[in-house]
Chain A
Amino acid sequence: MSFATGLRCRECGREYPIEPIYVCEFCFGSLEVSYDYAGIKRALSREKIASGPRSIWRYKELLPVGDDVVDINAGLTPLIKADNLGRALGLSQLYIKNDCVNPSYSFKDRVVAVAATKAREFNFKAVACASTGNLACSVAAHGARAGMKAYVFIPADLEMGKVLGAAIYGPTLVAVEGNYDEVNRLCSELAEKYPWAFVNINIRPFYAEGSKTLAYEVAEQLGWRAPDNAVVPVASGSLFNKIWKGLNEFHHLGLIGPVKTKMFVSQAAGCSPVTTAYQSGTTQIRPVKPRTIAKSLAIGNPADGYYALKTIRESGGSATMASDPEIVEGMKLLAETEGIFAETAGGVTIAGLKHLVQAGAIKRDELTVAYITGNGLKTLEAVQDSVVKPVLIKPNVNSFEEAMGLKVAATGDTRRNPGVKD
């Protein structure tokens, strides 16, 4: 059973029943799911959660879904204490939420699991999306699992890893010759014309709720408490706001103490409408044309940007940005210190974290969680020219030692001189 009671306009507060709608008829504001929190409080406890499924569905009471879910096992990803990276950045309590390891290799599995479940509940026969990649992979995967048709629209210039990563599940994959904005508008029109569940259009209020699980998990994995700081890569701003919402819901339900978490936005410098608005002290987001290697974050006109600014203010956080070279450096630093290969969005998080520490916004002994939301194998292009190249040798010891600079002038068989260094 679901504890969701309806949809509520975020602007004027008007209430709507649970239907595949996403804007308020009256003020055109966006809609958000409301819940019977008293009922949830009675149904949920730390013990109940801890003994639940090892996936996002352990928090099902806090998601707007019934019992029959579309499940590819999203969520419950590792939270690791990142001592090496912490040392490099000057932090003593740094944690990495490694969401690269979701079934389709990004955090989007959390939102799409909820969206696909809802689409099936609403009796849609097809799921669809417009995407810069990660969402495409996840929608195609969940469509396959649910036995629903999947229509996936991507810009034609997408990274190979994301095109293939979606294609393998056998969706109808449409590459649109145009920039993100144009794919976006096309899908807006298609959503009116075809009876498909566009996960981030007509199912969006439900879809977005899936991101709350990234707050729940972190709080549970930290031993039922909220972190001091959360650093989040931001595109539309939805994920960022839902992490904040999730932490506050947990407190409201008595599952954790007061939430004093500061929420930090990290964006790519080539697409930073939220950070730019924050830095110029306005609540007006000025849309931009994205130009960055962080294609997954390339939303020039973020729908939840205004609310992200509100979340920053409410939580006492701030916003930062990272240039393309800094993004690549961030990806490498994370990989070299912690063994985690993240996509460009992860580079944005790490580079942003570095700036925040340098600026004194995040302090050494504070418990800080950096959200790593997508897998590096999807954005190989971004790093292919900045990593070590393999050393080419012949298949013999001599060739190896020569290449490594291990070879002594000695003539003999080096195998008999195991101590030889130089």
Chain B
Amino acid sequence: MAKRRVMFTFPPELITEPVIYNLGLQFKVVTNIRRADVTEDRGWVVLEVEGREDDIERAIAWVTSKGVRVDPIGKDIIEG
């Protein structure tokens, strides 16, 4: 089993969709939300995704294809 810590940033049109619920349904991964800030037109969720490496990969690819931005935690490592 592998674990990945990620941040999902949602575009306005996906705010009302149960994306994380669907993620758990469609792929064999367990999601564990640690922090979130969601307003009516935008939002982010910090969570851990647990499962087999290839299931995690496919799950991440699926949310990305839905228009969610996925960043690994520790995202900002690029600096001048």
Contact = CB atoms under 8 A, between A and B. Distances in A.
A235 interface: yes
Nearest to A299: B78
Interface stretch (B16-24, B35-43, B51-59): B35-43
A248 interface: no
Contacts of B46: 27-28
B42 to A, nearest CB: 5
Nearest to A108: B80
Given A131-B80, A132-B80, A303-B75, A28 B34 contact: yes
Contacts of A106: 80
B69 interface: yes
Contact of B76 (A11, A131, A302): A302
**Most chain-A Cβ atoms within 10 A of its Cβ — which of B44, B48, B74, B75?**
B74
Contacts of A303: 75-76
Interface residues of A, number: 49
A134 B35 CA distance: 33
A278 interface: no
B33 to A, nearest CB: 10
Interface string A301-320: 11110000000000000000
Nearest to B80: A296
A284 B39 contact: yes
Contacts of B75: 184, 188, 301, 303
A28 B77 contact: no
A298 B78 CA distance: 9
A22 B69 contact: no
A187 B80 contact: no
A23 B48 CA distance: 13
Contact of A180 (B37, B43, B78): B78
B61 interface: no
B13 interface: no
Given A23-B5, A284-B42, A183 B35 contact: no
Interface of A: 11, 22-23, 26-29, 106, 108, 129-135, 180-181, 183-185, 187-189, 191, 198, 200-201, 204, 235-236, 238, 282-284, 286-287, 295-299, 301-304, 345, 373-374
Would you list the 5 A-B pairs with minimal beta carbon distance, nearest first? A296-B80, A303-B76, A134-B80, A184-B78, A188-B72
